Amino acid sequence: MTAFRWLAEFLLPGLPIARPLTLGGIHVLPVPRGENERSHSNGHLTFEPDTHLRDAEARAHAQSQLELVALAATATGGSVGEPVVTSVRLDNQADLEASGVPIPLDACFTLKWKVLAPDIDETAVIKGYRVALEFGPQEAPFWRRAARWLWKANSEAHPYDRFLALWIAFNVLYGPKRIDSEPNAIRNYLAETIPSEQVARSLLAGVIEEDLRLLGGSGLSLRRDKSWPVADELQVALGTPETTPSPRQVLTLSCLVVYAVRCAVVHEGGFDIPREKEVGLVWASGRVLKAVLMHAFKSRLGV
């Protein structure tokens, strides 16, 4: 049987590692940081389909495999971006041509993209990759979809675009829990995925307290008649130095205020507050969403 051995080279934005990784046919290499260099890794992968592929098909296959690595890394590094296949080629072309096998090749292309990030735990990436390999046909597209929007958010400089990409990633996660309303879907999702005060406390440890205070002081409400002062409820839940707040309640109300921010941005065109305060609120909402998303990936991938 003819073996078509393909070699794909790639970049993994936001995946700075200290040592080479080998994941099946995927070889990831660390890239030294320059003074102003944004972090990434590069490498190559090989695969052997039974039939000849066009370049676009080979690239799509490589991309699919690399997305599992990036998905695993997403749980450990908050700046991971979508992987980029920089080139593909038929590695054993000379041997195939010598044996009389016709090789119709397309032109390939090169792209580069770099994202700043701290070093990532290689062991966690390997563990998460192995878990991702076992995803079923329904679960794999679900987590890939959420990851792609998170990667998109990591590549966005504009705070509103970044926030909305993060929101869509979150929406992918809680969407299956929707029965009647969006707020109830959010509450149902958090009740299931944050099963205890300890888990909520651990998640909130990665959230800036000032962001929570900013959300609580926003005065935002839910429902069309503004009858649910959810921001005021968060402000009460955050408590005072003399009280001990419930981490689960704080987390749930924070996500509901973020939902109110999303509604204001998408449906109302903004807020009735000064522009600089509005932008600060959008940034705070994005950071809270990022923490929730990172917790979701860590939990599912076991890292």
Q: Which amino acid is at 165?
A: A
Edge-to-edge order in the sheet of strand 84-90: 21-23, 26-30, 40-47, 6-13, 84-90
- Quote the CA–CA distance of 191 and 248 in Å, as a whole number: 8
6, 43 contact by CB (below 8 A): no
- Quote the CA–CA distance of 258 and 276 in Å, as a whole number: 17
- pLDDT score, position 224: 66
- Quote the CA–CA distance of 11 and 114 in Å, as a whole number: 8
3-class SS of residue 21: strand
Q: Which residue has the tokens 């590549």?
A: 155
pLDDT tens digits for 200-254? 999 999 999 999 999 999 999 987 667 889 999 999 999 866 677 899 999 999 9
DSSP state of 218: S
Element (H, E) at 11: strand 6-13
Q: How far is CA 48 from the centre of its chain?
A: 29
- Rounded (5°) CA angle 144-146-152: 100
163, 289 contact by CB (below 8 A): yes
- pLDDT score, position 2: 64
pLDDT tens digits for 33-81? 766 566 888 899 998 887 778 888 888 889 999 999 999 888 887 788 8
20, 39 contact by CB (below 8 A): no
pLDDT greater than 50 at residue 191: yes
- pLDDT score, position 196: 95
Widest pairwise Cα distance in the chain? 82
Q: pTM to 2 decimals?
A: 0.75
- Quote the CA–CA distance of 122 and 125 in Å, as a whole number: 5
- Quote the CA–CA distance of 211 and 56 in Å, as a whole number: 44
- Rounded (5°) CA angle 101-104-109: 135
